[in-house]
């Protein structure tokens, strides 16, 4: 596809009508949490936008994020957007391989210096573990730093890139770090999730194309539009929580009736993501709807916060050991203190000198 075409031209070439395009823009606006009146502005901006060059780096990842994106069925918003960007480098999706592939990356970097979008999925080993993951003999860290240098925007797709994810989970054998740690000082948009919702990835891209910058982010650098509300607050099972109706096993009455999964370890209350509203597979369902609690996959270190099936209010450590330790130490010290106290009392009794009336007036 010709890279000099604007997005508008490209869409029209693929047979998208003006009406269809405007509809797409309205949908995008609503997805991004913008007022419908913003749709013409989005349309105007997208009309004029050059197809951006996108370099997609995959490090220590499972390809689930790419799978998530490519699972979408046409015609979807994300399909439209993805078809019309210039994905110049992506291991899994590009036809070229070997030197040719690396060449494509270098070429894209040179031609679009300062203008391309860098998407990363997967975490990367730190300096000490460089050998754990290399591409074409280049360590992940070097490749990231080199590629990031001329990028207009950096998007960490998936929890591994955003927060380290599975490779980062204890005991983190490769010394994995998230993208943000490898690029201190760079502003990075995190689109976490394991995997993230495809619409969210394209929504961020659409925002970049429309406004030329990055959307409003939360403390963890996630777009507020998609990560502004917790799963718990938007969950359709929330009324059961408020009524005190909970499933206590996966096959009990409560589970069959679709009651709240909090007691089965649902992490919805601490998880910020759009699953409950956008859902998955073109709005078919999402984890809680399928009967399983939220794992909290869009939160940092979700692997290491005490198990997927442990209720959020329950302690995660070995409390019985701590309790036994405290109780035994308490009993030991108490025994000593008790004996000492009793002895002190007895000594005081012994030391007591009998009081007679003759002593009373002495003072």
Partner 1 sequence: MSNPTEFLALVRGPLFDVAIAIFLFGVILRLTEILALGRKHDYSESRGGEGRGGWTTIWRRMLPDQEKIKRAPGVTVLGYLFHIGFFVCLLLFVPHIELIYNLIGIKWPGLPTPFIDVAAIVAMVSLAALFVNRLIHPVLRFLSTFEDYFLLVVVFLTVFTGYAAFHRLMEPASSALAWHILSVELMLVIFPFTKLMHTFTLFIARWYNGAMAARRGVQS
Partner 2 sequence: MSKPTFEKGYNAFKKEIDAPVASFFSSCVHCGICAEACLFYTETGDPKYTPIYKLEPMRKVWAQEYTLAGKLRSALGLGRKLTEDDFKEWEELVYDSCTLCGRCSMVCPVGNDIVYMVRKAREAFVAAGYIPAGMVGAATRAVKIGSPMGVRLKALEAQISHIEEETGLKIPMDVEGAEYMPLLSSMEIINFPEYLSALARIFREADATWTLCSEAFEATNSGIQLGSADIARELLQRVVDGAEKLKVKTVVGPECGHAFWALRWEGPNLIERPYPFQVQHILELLDRFRAEGRIETKGEIKERVTFHDPCQIVRKGGVLEQPRNLLNMIAADFAEMPDHGKMNWCCGGGGGVSSNERADELRIKVFALKKRQIEASGAETLVTACANCRLMLEDGIDEYQMEMPVIGLTEAVADHLLERRKD
Nearest approach, Cβ of residue 255 and partner 1 (Å) = 15
Which token pair is 186? 């760079």
Report whether 306 contacts 163 (CB < 8 A).
no
Q: Does 325 bind partner 1 (CB under 8 A)?
A: yes
Q: Among partner 2, partner 1, none, what does residue 353 contact (CB within 5–8 Å per kind)? A: partner 2
Report whether 294 contacts 266 (CB < 8 A).
yes
Q: Applying CB under 8 A, which residues contact partner 2?
A: 333, 337, 341, 344-345, 347-349, 351-363
- Which one of 111, 149, 253, 304 is in contact with partner 1 (CB under 8 A)? 304
Number of continuous H segments (helices) and E segments (strands) in the chain = 18, 9
> Nearer Cβ to partner 2, position 44 or 328?
328
Q: How far apart are CA 56 and CA 91, in angstroms?
A: 8
Q: Site for partner 1 (CB under 8 A): how many residues?
A: 53
Q: Does 263 bind partner 1 (CB under 8 A)?
A: yes
Neighbours of 292 (CB within 10 A): 17
Nearest approach, Cβ of residue 362 and partner 2 (Å) = 5
Helix segments in the chain, DSSP class H: 7-13, 18-31, 39-48, 64-70, 77-83, 98-111, 140-149, 158-163, 165-168, 179-182, 198-211, 224-227, 231-234, 238-243, 253-256, 275-278, 319-351, 357-360
Q: Does 292 bind partner 1 (CB under 8 A)?
A: no
Q: Does 126 bind partner 1 (CB under 8 A)?
A: no
> Nearer Cβ to partner 2, position 219 or 353?
353
Q: Does 56 bind partner 1 (CB under 8 A)?
A: no
Q: Indicate the DSSP class of residue 63.
A: S
Q: Does 224 bind partner 1 (CB under 8 A)?
A: no
Contact footprint for partner 1 (CB under 8 A): 163, 218-220, 230, 232-233, 241-244, 246, 262-263, 269-270, 272, 296, 299-302, 304-306, 310-319, 321-323, 325-327, 329-331, 333-335, 337-339, 341-342, 345
């Amino acid at each position: 596809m010709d890279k000099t075409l604007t997005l508008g031209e490209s869409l029209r070439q693929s047979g998208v009508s003006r009406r269809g395009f405007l509809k797409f823009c309205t949908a995008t606006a609503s997805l991004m949490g913008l007022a419908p009146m913003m749709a013409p502005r989005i349309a105007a901006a997208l009309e004029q936008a050059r197809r951006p060059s996108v370099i997609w780096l995959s490090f220590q990842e499972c390809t689930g994020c790419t799978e998530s994106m490519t699972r979408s069925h046409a015609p979807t918003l994300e399909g439209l957007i993805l078809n019309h960007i210039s994905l110049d480098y992506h291991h899994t999706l590009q036809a070229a391989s070997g030197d040719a592939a690396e060449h494509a990356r270098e070429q894209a970097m040179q031609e679009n210096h300062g203008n391309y979008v860098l998407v990363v999925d997967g975490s990367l080993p730190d300096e000490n573990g460089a050998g754990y993951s290399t591409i074409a003999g280049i360590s992940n860290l070097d490749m990231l730093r080199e590629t990031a240098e001329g990028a207009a925007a950096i998007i960490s797709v998936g929890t591994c890139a955003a927060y380290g994810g599975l490779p980062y989970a204890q005991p983190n054998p490769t010394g994995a770090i998230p993208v943000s740690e490898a690029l201190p000082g760079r502003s990075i948009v995190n689109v976490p999730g394991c995997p993230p919702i495809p619409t969210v990835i394209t929504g961020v891209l659409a925002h970049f194309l429309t406004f030329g910058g990055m959307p409003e982010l939360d403390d963890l650098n996630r777009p507020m539009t998609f990560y502004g509300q917790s799963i718990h607050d938007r969950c359709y099972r929330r009324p059961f929580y408020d009524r005190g109706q909970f499933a206590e096993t996966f096959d009990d009455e409560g589970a069959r009736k679709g009651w709240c999964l909090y007691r089965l370890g649902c992490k919805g209350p601490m998880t910020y993501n759009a699953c409950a509203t956008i859902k998955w597979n073109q709005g078919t369902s999402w984890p809680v709807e399928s009967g399983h609690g939220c794992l909290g996959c869009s939160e940092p270190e979700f692997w290491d916060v005490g198990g997927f099936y442990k209720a959020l209010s329950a302690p995660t450590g070995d409390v019985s050991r701590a309790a036994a330790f405290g109780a035994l130490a308490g009993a030991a010290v108490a025994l000593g203190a008790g004996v000492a106290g009793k002895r002190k009392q007895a000594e005081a009794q012994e030391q007591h000198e009998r009081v007679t009336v003759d002593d009373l007036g002495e003072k």
